[in-house]
Amino acid sequence: MNKSVRENLIFILVAHACFLAEPAIVHGEDMDYHPQNFTQPLSAARGTITPAGGGAIYLKPEDRCNLVVKEFGWDRDQCGTIDQLIFGFTPEIDNLTVEQPVSDGYVSLADWDSGDRNEEISSIEESFKESVKAQSQRVGQDIRFDGWLVYPQIDKGKNILYYANILNWGGDRTINISVSIFDRQGYVPMKIVPVNGNIAAESVQKIVEASAAAYKPKAGSSYFEFSSGDKVAGYGAMGVLAAMLGVKYGKAAGVGLIALALVVLKKGAFLLLLPLVWLRKLFKRNKADS
């Protein structure tokens, strides 16, 4: 496949918007993926992921690397950013990407309780809008941030930071659900694509809770097991939010690949900040054709 990343994305989004019966990615004749039934807990870098129901599948490392390289134009050296990739995790989830954890140390959530929290989030949001605008100009495609479906929030009982935002790609609406699970060494980012592109905020909450509940940190590495003397990150929850959105924010500007400003990312890296759109149909068709 020699199409550009932009052409692939436009094709996928248009196909989805038109409610095609065929999968959004249609060059099945040259695919050689081997989806695995997700019936037992999967090992992750700092924990395990437990099935949330029947019918889910996942890809082994080589297959998922081939998929993101072939279908989304990633560079092969970017494949390592994915820890696990699961399809049909619940009936409401098309795909769930568990990213490699960030290991900068325990993240204090104290800044989330500050009186200027909303102003800080607004500042991060403006930076995100500018970054999306720059990427839009770079790829020659109209991409806009159309607001929050679920405003950024923290659930301290579950040790998670999450949001759902709305991106408009050339007139097509896409939902980006992002969750970060805090642990003793940092946090584990997840990206989620819902089956329903017109999902309500209440349904996002259900998806977030199911995804977070399925992830179990390794013994001794949960957020509540922080001990005096452990490494502490040089940023708080606001820095993690900025990293999730891929914009610079104070000391968080050095936090791994996802914290780089979008305007300086190399070719294809912008896609690392976005969920992998509507992929479950790809494997449903392959199964039906086999």
Count of other CB atoms within 10 angstroms of residue 134: 16
Token look-up 């509940």 returns: 213
Q: Which residue has the higher pLDDT, 64 or 30?
A: 64
CA atoms 70, 210, 38, 225: torsion sign: positive
> What tens digit of pLDDT does each residue of 104-130 get?
999 999 999 999 999 999 999 998 888
Q: What is the mean pLDDT of residues 222-245?
A: 94
Residue 118, classified by CB atoms within 10 Å of its CB into exposed (0-12), middle (13-18) or buried (19+), is exposed
Q: Please state the domain count of the chain.
A: 1
Q: What is the mean pLDDT of residues 47-71?
A: 90
Q: Grade residue 1 by pLDDT with cuts at 50, 70 and 90.
A: very low
Count of other CB atoms within 10 angstroms of residue 33: 18
Q: What is the mean pLDDT of residues 35-61?
A: 93
Q: Which pLDDT value is given to residue 280? A: 52
Residues in a beta bridge with 180:
161, 189
Q: Which residue has the higher pLDDT, 268 or 189?
A: 189
Q: Grade residue 221 by pLDDT with cuts at 50, 70 and 90.
A: very high
Pairing state between β 47-49 and 42-44: antiparallel
Of 113, 134, 143, nearest to 9 (Cα)? 143
Range of weakest confidence among 21-35, 121-135, 145-159, 240-254 = 21-35
Q: Grade residue 53 by pLDDT with cuts at 50, 70 and 90.
A: confident
Q: What are phi and psi of 28, to 5 degrees?
A: -75, -15
- Dist. CA 103–CA 187, nearest whole Å: 7
Q: Which helix (H) or strand (E) holds 98?
A: strand 93-99
> What tens digit of pLDDT does each residue of 92-109 get?
998 899 999 999 999 999
In terms of residue numbers, what domain contains 94?
Answer: 5-289
Of 190, 180, 189, nearest to 159 (Cα)? 180
Residue 25 pLDDT exceeds 50: no
Q: What are phi and psi of 209, to 5 degrees?
A: -65, -40
Q: What is the mean pLDDT of residues 40-55?
A: 93
What does pTM read for this prediction?
0.80
Count of other CB atoms within 10 angstroms of residue 29: 5
Range of weakest confidence among 43-47, 66-70, 161-165 = 66-70
Q: Which pLDDT value is given to residue 77? A: 86
Q: Grade residue 30 by pLDDT with cuts at 50, 70 and 90.
A: very low
Residue 15 pLDDT exceeds 70: no
Amino acid at 155: D
Residue 271 pLDDT exceeds 70: no
Q: What are phi and psi of 37, to 5 degrees?
A: -65, 130
Q: Which pLDDT value is given to residue 257? A: 32
Q: What is the mean pLDDT of residues 11-17?
A: 35
Pairing state between β 57-58 and 143-155: unpaired
Q: What is the mean pLDDT of residues 270-276?
A: 52
Residues in a beta bridge with 57:
37, 87
